[in-house]
């Protein structure tokens, strides 16, 4: 008995052509699947992107280039530039295209919006505010300790980007002092 890599059925050897009989199980296809043009299971699985990688307005995958999308501090939804352009053409100027919150140029209002989301338990807002503390943006005093606390809270809530940020900071020691000396050979 052999398993077909396309239909995943367990079939006898006589249902496979001679050239497919010798292939490894993951790429072996029975004669019915070859004739029907059925794709291998490997080509069907794992090809979808997670929902957070989609623009919430048009539901298209967000570009991998971060310059082709942006987010606002009100809702922190990542929106593609195409939807931003469409919103401008519709006259939605000075507002977030997703939540329609008026945009603010005042640093205190922007921090207040982010802090409100942090208080509500939004892990993306925690990471974003932590990044602002680490850089000293929006008039905040640069505070690495506060930045790490916010990133750790976001990581505890399961945000992958927060785990990445913490790993980066701890691996490279960005703005951290050593609490104990390194051992030789490490």
Give the mean model confidence (pLDDT) for residues 155-172.
87
Task: Tell me the C-alpha distance between 112 and 79, whole Å.
Answer: 21
The pLDDT of residue 81 is above 90 = yes
Query: Which contacts of 31-37 are long-range, i.e. CB under 8 A and separated by 24 or more positions?
Result: 32/7, 33/4, 33/6, 33/7
The pLDDT of residue 111 is above 60 = yes
Residue 136, number of CB atoms within 10 A of its CB: 12
The pLDDT of residue 114 is above 70 = yes
**pLDDT class for 86, splitting at 50, 70, 90?**
very high
> For the chain, what is the total number of helices (H) and then of strands (E)?
8, 4
Give the mean model confidence (pLDDT) for residues 15-27.
73
Residue 110, number of CB atoms within 10 A of its CB: 19
The answer to whether the Cα torsion of 86, 90, 91, 97 is positive or negative is negative
pTM: 0.64
Give the rounded percent of residues in the chain with a pLDDT score beyond 90.
18
């Amino acid at each position: 008995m052999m398993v077909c890599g396309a239909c995943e059925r367990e079939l006898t050897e006589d249902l496979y052509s001679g050239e497919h009989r010798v292939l490894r199980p993951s790429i072996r296809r029975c004669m019915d699947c070859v004739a029907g043009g059925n794709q291998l299971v490997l080509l069907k699985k794992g090809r979808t992107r997670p929902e957070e990688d989609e623009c919430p307005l048009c539901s298209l995958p967000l570009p991998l280039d971060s310059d082709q999308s942006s987010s606002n501090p009100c809702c922190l939804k990542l929106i593609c530039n195409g939807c931003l352009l469409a919103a401008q053409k519709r006259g939605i100027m000075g507002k977030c295209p997703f939540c329609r919150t008026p945009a603010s140029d005042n640093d205190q209002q922007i921090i207040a919006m982010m802090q409100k989301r942090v208080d509500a338990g939004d892990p993306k807002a925690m990471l974003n505010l932590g990044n602002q503390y680490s850089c000293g943006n929006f008039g905040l005093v640069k505070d690495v300790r506060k930045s790490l606390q916010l990133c750790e809270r976001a990581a505890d809530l399961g945000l992958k980007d927060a785990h990445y940020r913490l790993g980066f900071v701890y691996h490279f020691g960005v703005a951290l002092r050593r609490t104990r000396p390194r051992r030789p050979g490490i």
